[in-house]
Structure 1
Amino acid sequence: MSNLIIRRAHIKDGEALKDIKISGGKITEIATDIQNDNNSKEIDAKGNVVLPSLIESHIHPDKAFLEDRKPNKSGTLEEALKNTAELKKLYTFEDVKKRAEKVLRWSILNGTTIMRAQPDVDPYEKTLGVEVLVHLKEKFKDVLDMQIVAFPQEGIIQSPGVLEMMEETIKMGADIVGGCPYSEKTMEDTKKQLEVVFDLAEKYNLPIDMHADFGTNADDPQNTCIELICDMTIARGYQGRVAIGHVTTLGSLDPEVAAPIFDKIAKAGVTIVPLPVTDMFMTGRTERKNIPRGMAPVMAMMEHGVNIAYSSNNIRNAFTPFGNADLIAVGYLLQVSQQMGSADQRRAVLDMVTYNAAKALGISDTYGLEVGKNADLNIYDCDDISNLINDQPLIRYVIKRGEIIVQNDLTRTMASVLMED
């Protein structure tokens, strides 16, 4: 590993610029005017923002780029599941690999070098998605750290053999036990699935990552499982080891009803992962007016101490016909939809896709812009962290364990000349 010094880095709004020294893939010093005593390569950040790597905490590379094959004309979850199930029957290793690899490459180019991927494990795809991502995890290991979730999209109780396939994928290399409680036919089976998921996670001492409460009807018990999950988390001693994507139904609760639930989520140490593009595209389809945003209430949960980490979820398929694996763009949508307009709130949105996501993935001990942490860093062409998402800036450098893996040269265009004072 080479040695590197980043000069004149903006690492915190309102503070002086700093130099960052990197050796052996780790940050070894952060100070002003660091001496280059070992002939290290140097980058002049020129006052630009330096952040730790973005983290994609919930994404489905195996299902990416399927929209053109079978569009979701109604935009509903029901049609998305139906269309995708039909397409999964036709999957081959090379097909899934080609589409998933494209997502990984786009992610890296957009400054994401840490990812939690969620391939389906079900009667249609079987274990193929996990097999492909285990292969890609090894192929991209020098530029991308990947965790793999065994995700039972079609349920466990209603889909005989899926539990056995999930256990098989853990032996292949899946790192996380997934769950999808709303996929079962009855509330009784939903409860059974939750027990099975926790049992499997305990057996292999693995974290849990679920899709849950994906709707707007707070009277539907299968889409109001968050309290049950939190109770199980506490009872099983799994605090800090459970993440849940979607949880949009929470946005339909009255504040006085929701507040104690938020407190319970915080007590259980459960991370909530809103998926803004999918959540707002798919929910509220039956409403005729005042259509809800269909999002978990981010700011209210933050006020109660809940860890929030947003993500992309899907890229151009029946669930989400948008996206380019750009988490800064997704953050723009989140801050607008959640009315997070102040400078502190906009910085909090960036925390969701960096430090909060690291906590969700259980990597806080190695992640961050601090001495001793992995040198996984991005340099952006902007000089204000609070406006980074607003600016949607070009990434000048993506650095993985101290090595430059992406470099974009800035050119002085006529447009930039015209905008100068």
Structure 2
Amino acid sequence: MTVVRNARLDGRDGLHDIEVEGDRFGRIVPAGQGRGDVLADADGALARPPFVEPHVHLDTTLTAGEPRWNASGSLWEGIAVWSERKRALTRDDVVERASEVLRWYAANGVLHVRSHVDVTDPGLVALDAMLEVRERVRDVIGLQLVAFPQEGILSFDGGEELLEEAARRGVDAIGAIPHFEDTREDGVRSLEIAFGIAERHGLLLDAHCDEIDDEQSRFVEVLATLARRGGLRGRATASHTTAMGSYNGAYSYKLQRILARSGINLVCNPLANLCLQGRFDGYPKRRGLTQVKEMLGAGVNVAFGHDDVMDPWFPLGTASPLQVALAGIAAAQLTGAAEIDEAFAMVGERAARVLDLGDRYGLAEGRPASLVLLPAASPFDAVRRQVRPSHVVAHGRLVAETPAAPTRLTWPGRAPEEIDFVRSRDRRPGGPAADAPRNA
């Protein structure tokens, strides 16, 4: 048995010890009462379930500028650039790039990842490579794979057959891209095909849906209705839905009811969406985001994802979930204190719901012993200061540590001091962060 000592827990006073029995959590008791060898001393850091990435394309990561840069910055040119790059894909190429970014995720405390994999490739090179990666990382990261028809199901020759073959090879979810199909009718039919394959194989569904600035793109209502009437209620996700940023008020009000009844999830990717959408606008220029605040208010589960890490659609990124949360807060105007806490959940608990993790996730006795220790007083503090995890534990094993590295400042009229961006007044006895972690 091992123990994580002196951890801060949301909603509980004082510090606690978290016992670990093998790869499962044991008791959570007041500090000093835990039994076992010390796995990590939290030193007052906030203990949380690991972060969750609900939407990324690992097969495309680290390819920015290959074979050329996306000069227009648009979604469509990104697809064209990727179509050129994927001709040079090899197993080793995909395995190496995806594995490197997964190591970045683990270092940032992300231990559950859903990756879309392009299957509009008759050789399914990327898919086979990613299936191998999934097995390689399973002791650290739970990796879900979505069969993603980047160039369409009906608009790509053999698209339906490739999607069916991907299901047979062992993906976790089926994807679609209805707004990219040649006609609206093809878009609807593509969703019907994707749902049919998912239901036959007992898989989840996650479709790129309405990732366009066209206010007439309304496939999310089709996806939600198929989920509600079929067998995937609560197990289907609409990713992006950026056309919501162009919907009128009357339709938006109707849509809230449809989505809330359906039980589907929404995934917003603020970093990529802000860059890709509105590229054809003058001013005023649309933000190109789903209606995050409104859908949360309607009771729809919404999560934040990366989408891209250094690829033809977004050339930046370090796989940091708190960076994504911060971008989402600014873009979706989630600036109330409770809303900022909600944004933190959108890269944690809410994202775990997208992956349908259930009791495979959470800081509770009997659940998998995976957690992050954040040198912060609260989720609000963690997002504001963009802290790195001091420790990352995966299935009962310590897999990452980040030593404290405060800045030492010499200022006129003051003794040299360490700067950690905690407000001075919050350090006073009885202040809101009086018991802040010493290694913050």
Task: Report the TM-score range of the alignment, normalised by the length of the smaller protein.
Answer: over 0.9
Question: Aligned letter for 2:211?
Answer: F
Question: Aligned letter for 1:65?
Answer: L
- What is residue 231 of structure 1 aligned with on the other side? 225
Indicate conservation of the 8 Å contact 2:407/2:419, yes or no.
Answer: no
Summarize deviations over 1:301-324 as a string: whole Å, max 9, x none: 000000011100111111111211
- What is residue 264 of structure 2 aligned with on the other side? 270
Deviation at 1:170, TM superposition (A): 2.1
Say yes or no: does 1:142 pair with 2:139.
yes
2-side partners of 1:29 and 1:206: how far apart?
34
Deviation at 1:75, TM superposition (A): 0.8
- Runs of 4+ off more than 6 Å: none
2-side partners of 1:4 and 1:259: how far apart?
51
Say yes or no: does 1:302 pair with 2:300.
no
Determine which of 6, 9, 14 is the counterpart of 1:8.
6
- What is residue 72 of structure 1 aligned with on the other side? 70
Summarize deviations over 1:225-270 as a string: whole Å, max 9, x none: 1111111111113210101110011122233321221121121111
Indicate conservation of the 8 Å contact 1:176/1:209, yes or no.
Answer: yes
Residues 412 and 418 from structure 1, CA distance in 2 versus in 1: closer, same or farther, beyond 3 angstroms? closer
Indicate conservation of the 8 Å contact 1:148/1:175, yes or no.
Answer: yes
- What is residue 93 of structure 2 aligned with on the other side? 95
2-side partners of 1:151 and 1:411: how far apart?
41
Percent identity of equivalent pairs: 28
Indicate conservation of the 8 Å contact 2:374/2:387, yes or no.
Answer: yes
- What is residue 247 of structure 1 aligned with on the other side? 241
Determine which of 18, 22, 25 is the counterpart of 2:16.
18
Summarize deviations over 1:314-363 as a string: whole Å, max 9, x none: 11111111211111111110011111112211110111111111111111
Say yes or no: does 1:194 pair with 2:191.
yes
Say yes or no: does 1:315 pair with 2:309.
yes
SS at match of 1:410: coil
1-side partners of 2:330 and 2:142: how far apart?
30
Say yes or no: does 1:410 pair with 2:404.
yes
- What is residue 49 of structure 1 aligned with on the other side? 46
- Tell me the TM-score normalised to structure 2 length: 0.90
Indicate conservation of the 8 Å contact 1:366/1:372, yes or no.
Answer: no
Question: Aligned letter for 2:289?
Answer: M
Summarize deviations over 1:207-231 as a string: whole Å, max 9, x none: 1010011122213xxx211111111
SS at match of 2:146: strand
Deviation at 1:412, TM superposition (A): 5.6
Deviation at 1:417, TM superposition (A): 2.7
SS at match of 2:88: coil
Indicate conservation of the 8 Å contact 1:13/1:386, yes or no.
Answer: no
Give the gaps of 5 or more residues in structure 2.
410-415, 425-440
2-side partners of 1:199 and 1:375: how far apart?
36
Matches within 5 A, 1:18-417: 18-33=16-31, 35-37=33-35, 39-69=36-66, 70-123=68-121, 126-219=123-216, 223-411=217-405, 413-415=407-409, 417=417
Deviation at 1:84, TM superposition (A): 0.8
Residues 157 and 173 from structure 1, CA distance in 2 versus in 1: closer, same or farther, beyond 3 angstroms? same
Question: Aligned letter for 2:419?
Answer: M
- Tell me the TM-score normalised to structure 1 length: 0.94
Deviation at 1:63, TM superposition (A): 0.6
Deviation at 1:372, TM superposition (A): 2.0
2-side partners of 1:102 and 1:73: how far apart?
26
SS at match of 2:118: coil
1-side partners of 2:30 and 2:42: how far apart?
13
1-side partners of 2:241 and 2:256: how far apart?
12
Deviation at 1:187, TM superposition (A): 0.9
- What is residue 429 of structure 2 aligned with on the other side? none
Give the gaps of 5 or more residues in structure 1.
none
1-side partners of 2:249 and 2:59: how far apart?
37
Count of aligned pairs between the two proteins: 414
Residues 419 and 82 from structure 1, CA distance in 2 versus in 1: closer, same or farther, beyond 3 angstroms? closer
2-side partners of 1:91 and 1:269: how far apart?
37
2-side partners of 1:259 and 1:93: how far apart?
46
Summarize deviations over 1:367-387 as a string: whole Å, max 9, x none: 112222211100112122222
2-side partners of 1:149 and 1:371: how far apart?
30
2-side partners of 1:373 and 1:112: how far apart?
17
1-side partners of 2:149 and 2:61: how far apart?
17
Deviation at 1:413, TM superposition (A): 5.0
2-side partners of 1:301 and 1:212: how far apart?
16
Deviation at 1:36, TM superposition (A): 4.1
SS at match of 2:352: helix
1-side partners of 2:249 and 2:99: how far apart?
42
